[in-house]
Amino acid sequence: MRCPECHSLNESDAGACTNCGLLLLNASPKRRSEDFASQKRRESDGTPQISCPFCEGTIQARAIRCRHCSEIVNDTYYRERATRVRARINYTSWIAYLFGLGALLVFRPVGLVSIAAGLLLSILYYATPVEPPPSRRNGKKTKFSTFLRRQLRIERVAIPIPHLRNKKLIFVGTPLIAALVGYSANFLLLQEPMNDVLKENAAYSGMDVSAHYQYWVVPGVVVYDLRHVSFRQTPIDVHTAFLEFASKVKAKRYSRLELSYRGIEKFSLDGESFQKLGREYAKKNFDFVLYKLPWLLHPESGARMPPHDASDRDALVQFHQQWYGNDAMTKTVAKRM
């Protein structure tokens, strides 16, 4: 283009006149993106180029797939990536297994879910392909025996072992999490319904009952531990509180119930009878829940069954006396039946 001042001929993209220095406003400025694009092209031009073994197209030497035919040209990279993925899956599955075994002792549902997750991860581990898929062009297919042998190969865990501080956190944190899960299960599923029973009636004021799983970790066995009975309670109050608890948890199935006094097991009751006890109390079948209960119990820790010729009322009185009435603090309560 010509300069409007000195009429000198300049390049079409010149920003200023080379003769008089006048700025040429009509010239389009050079964009920075164009510089980056040209720089990238120059860098790509310096990258070694190879020929694709499938379509003979020109590709970069470090390419994984051919940009022309989409075939995998770098098998080594594919195998290394598959090994890393399988190692991480294997690592995670073992963590799920170990956590599940630990949680199984505290709260069975959490342990079963964790073990099931580990099993699914193991299936995913064996389903992850080790070798790159066969090319569509050469038509070679891997034998099933070869495929099975490659898939059953256990990959080494390619994850660095945590530092000592992290290992301490894992070894200390896992039992704490398991203990927290166990305490929550005992409190929410058993102790909370028992607390609701004691709060609903003023006649239970001063009575303390601990309801939890056996050893706090066996979910199939429930321990009903009578911790404290005050002078305000009568034996019928103690009996009714137990029946209301049975009614609260009647929808759940247990293998056994243990009746204890201050940590000492006195009687045991099978889970089916305990569930029936809660249903009959909800139906207000007081004859069954009062006078048939002593005959369903199995004595423990020196307790005795009532004689066969004893009346239902005498059996009920003897049950309460042997449950907590032998304690000097509760003899007066047991005699008020």
Burial of 96 (0-12, 13-18, 19+ CB in 10 A): buried
Which pLDDT value is given to residue 27? 47
Question: Over the chain (337 residues), what is each successive 10-residue block's mean pLDDT?
Answer: 76 71 59 57 63 79 75 76 82 85 73 87 83 61 66 58 58 72 86 94 92 88 92 89 94 93 92 94 92 90 78 89 74 55
Q: At what angle are helices 235-248 and 192-200 packed, to 10 degrees?
A: 130
User: Using an 8 Å Cβ cutoff, are 294 and 313 in contact?
Assistant: no
Question: Does the model's pTM come out above 0.75?
Answer: no
User: Using an 8 Å Cβ cutoff, are 250 and 282 in contact?
Assistant: yes
Distance separating alpha carbons of residues 140 and 150, to the nearest angstrom: 17
Which pLDDT value is given to residue 259? 95
Residues 237-276: tens digit of each pLDDT:
999 999 999 999 999 989 999 999 999 999 999 999 999 9
Residues 34-79: tens digit of each pLDDT:
556 666 655 555 567 788 877 878 877 777 777 777 777 777 777 7
User: What is the domain partition of the chain in residue ranges?
Assistant: 75-160, 192-334
| Pick from 247, 245, 199, 251: nearest CA to 223 | 245
